[in-house]
Amino acid sequence: MHTRTLGSNGTTRLEVSALGLGCMGMSFGYGPPREKREMIALLRAAVDRGITFFDTAEVYGPWANEELLGEALSPVHEPLVIATKFGFSIDAQGRRQDALDSTPQNIRAVAEASLRRLKRPTIDLFYQHRVDPKVPIEDVAGAVQDLIRAGKVRHFGLSEASLTTIRRAHAVQPVTALQSEYSLWWREPEAELLPALESLGIGFVPFSPLGRGFLTGKIDAHTPFDATDMRNTVPRFSPEARRANLALVEVLGTMAARQRITAAQLALAWLLAKAPQIVPIPGTTRLERLEENIGAAAVRLDAAQIQQIEQAAARIPVHGERYSQQMARLVDR
């Protein structure tokens, strides 16, 4: 696995594996938590195969995903980069509240608690999970800057933030990475976000690079989801939308077959070809899918192939919004 470089904290740039591993689904979001021993084995298998970049958050569980990574990765001697996030309100019983909290006091408290759960001396990349409209972003950036100066955090990141917010935060504490959704069925970042990030020297970490699993070709209109699976609330995953959106998956599958790779590998290789500072974080709970995703890092697409993929995808309208109304309200505009 080759490496890529995200942005800088003002003095040091952050180097990570070209593909990271999104860990949320191991504990949260896509049905019941997976068996701990199996997930520990999967996380260590990822390290063995060259993955050095792992993404988690306090709210995944809450807390369970950070604890899982702490148990699995703290004995690992290879240098790793673990990203976690703050910004949701969680009560003392570990129940997520329908509120955001990016007050400096909470940021400091989350950092201390995350360090304990991750069993690490420093948080490598600390994202604001969602922009809190009640707290000036300058105060958020300043609080993280204090943690960087104290040696408890190395790099500052934002998630689902607008360009205005990014620029304001970056003026206080350099932003190393922005994490937002980006894939062949959500290409909005291309219009303004990607050029601005490049000009600012900020890396981009696409989450859901495989469309929450849809671009793998393993989901159709009849695929059942567990009652606790977040995709039940996403308009894009209604049976009607899935039926319509299969047209995109079929096109990707045909194009991938010509290169003797999978649709998932094509979708990830396309992202990797878009810019050298892009580091996707596909998630999985299965070793065979992990190995499939890692294989995408070896795929090279030339300019003609990229154009062909994009032109084919652009001809197929995507049906359904990417978030429920409740989650859409948390996206910074």
Q: Looking at 30, 60, 127, 182, which residue is catalytic?
A: 60
φ, ψ for residue 85 (rounded to 5)?
Answer: -140, 150
Confirm whether 60 is a catalytic residue: yes
Q: Which residues are catalytic?
A: 60
